[in-house]
Chains A and B, each alone.
Chain A
Amino acid sequence: MEIPYTVKPRPDTGLYNAKLGIWLFLASEVMLFGGLFSAYILLRVGADLWPHGMLSIPIGTFNTFVLIASSVTVVMSWASLKLGKLASFKLYMTLTIACAFGFLGVKSYEYYVKFTHYDVWFKDDATAQKYFTAAYGEKGEADVRKHFVERFHLHNTKATYDPHEIQLAGHIQGNPLFASHKTLAKAKTEKIMFEPDPKFGSHDHPKAIEIPVSDVKRLSAYVPAHSTYFAIYFTITALHGLHVLGGALVLGYFLVTADKWWKKAPEQFANRIEVGGLFWHFVDLVWIFLFPIIYLL
């Protein structure tokens, strides 16, 4: 049975069916991401502390350029088909898919960096002060507080925080993924070698310090369980990443079956590319809002 209105517009809608279908789907996607954006606003406005500068802006900017480039190439691939140039279509579509996987590769690297970066909170004030001094010297507490104030933009607030409420950030030697206080205890790890982040405004890494797990109140990598900030960050960006992956797979399928479709039904094939492209542009559009909201604001 032939599928109706794959090329010619349906008289009542004025559209070929796939186009109507993709727009209805995109409408539901707007509500899906809209729900997450509204959750982000609600969580951020309601939070006592909200971190800043946790993500690399050059990396985020690079990925934004990659997605924009892919949006241009996908629309050029469609235009190439409309001009009857299959070879150009293949070139542009290959570039689009390369951009998609480039974006995912960079995002994976960003995730890896987060999954191996840790915050440690100590069991009491005296213990915290001991390790702040061990990490940064005599004025260690002031250095850790400086990090804390900059991270949470607390310059103009009068709120005070005890040393045990302030985290020491850095890496565990060996760069383990997803370690937590619980997993260390379960593995009967007695101590960790912790490499604190450089002082604020410096690039020099202090020496690693030995921390017995018994002195730690909480230890968490920058994973969703770390904080509301990372929970919403990973939820939205991972969902967006899945859309990129899904889109790349569908566009990849169109690319590898291009010759067959071009011979069999070139107009229907061009319409398929248009529909795939509409989804791809939507993914780009979501990122256009995500990038400033998550990386810059």
Chain B
Amino acid sequence: MSHDHSHSHGPGQACDHGHDDHNSPEAIQRTIKKYLMVGGILFGGTVLTVAMYYVHIPSVAMTIAVALLIASVKAAFVAGVFMHLSDERKMIYGILLCTVFFLIGLMGLTIWAMHDPPMQTLIDGKPA
């Protein structure tokens, strides 16, 4: 059987990165409300994404843009609130900045490759 240890040695007063106020029971209670709200937003965002599919936007580019925009907003809420990125240490932002740089490079190479077909397979600009 499990027992609560709130009176003995709960880590509520402890700080993971020196922010005492962020780890006080009151602050955690406030954060819990935020977590539930974000959960609701994520559910709503999913419904919106699926609804968009059934509404059927005529432009393919617009469909992709809207779907990725909704996904990005949902991802921002997960990263910002659930993963605590809205209030993190500089070191983590530095790591993520490097990641974003390399990810953009990776995607950039992909787009570049699309415009750079191997020429030996073309005769007068048409596939051999």
Contacts and interface: CB of A to CB of B under 8 A. Distances in A.
B89 A13 contact: yes
Interface string B10-52: 1110101110000101001101100110110011001001101
B10 A83 contact: yes
Contacts of A297: 63-64, 67
B86 interface: no
A177 interface: no
Interface centre among B32, B42, B82, B96 (most CB of A within 10 A): B82
B119 interface: no
A90 B67 CA distance: 36
Contacts of B99: 27, 30-31
Given A9-B18, A15-B89, A20-B91, A266 B5 contact: yes
Interface stretch (A123-131, A166-174, A277-285): A277-285
Interface string A1-44: 00000010100011110011001100100110011011001100
Interface residues of B, number: 60
A75 B89 contact: no
Given A57-B50, A83-B25, A292 B68 contact: yes
A43 to B, nearest CB: 10
A296 interface: yes
A278 B110 contact: no
A116 B64 CA distance: 31
Interface in B79-122: 79, 82-83, 89-92, 95-96, 98-99, 102-103, 106-107, 109-110, 113-114
Contacts of A9: 16-18, 89
Given A15-B89, A19-B16, A82-B12, 18 more contacts: A13-B89, A23-B96, A27-B95, A31-B103, A41-B107, A45-B114, A57-B50, A57-B53, A64-B46, A75-B35, A79-B31, A79-B35, A85-B4, A85-B6, A87-B3, A90-B2, A289-B75, A293-B67
Interface of B: 2-12, 14, 16-18, 23, 25, 28-29, 31-32, 35-36, 38-39, 42-43, 46, 49-50, 52-53, 63-64, 67-68, 70-71, 74-75, 78-79, 82-83, 89-92, 95-96, 98-99, 102-103, 106-107, 109-110, 113-114
Interface of A: 7, 9, 13-16, 19-20, 23-24, 27, 30-31, 34-35, 37-38, 41-42, 45-46, 57, 61, 64-65, 68-69, 71-72, 75-76, 79, 81-88, 90, 258-259, 262, 266-267, 269-271, 274, 277-278, 281-282, 284-285, 288-289, 291-293, 296-297
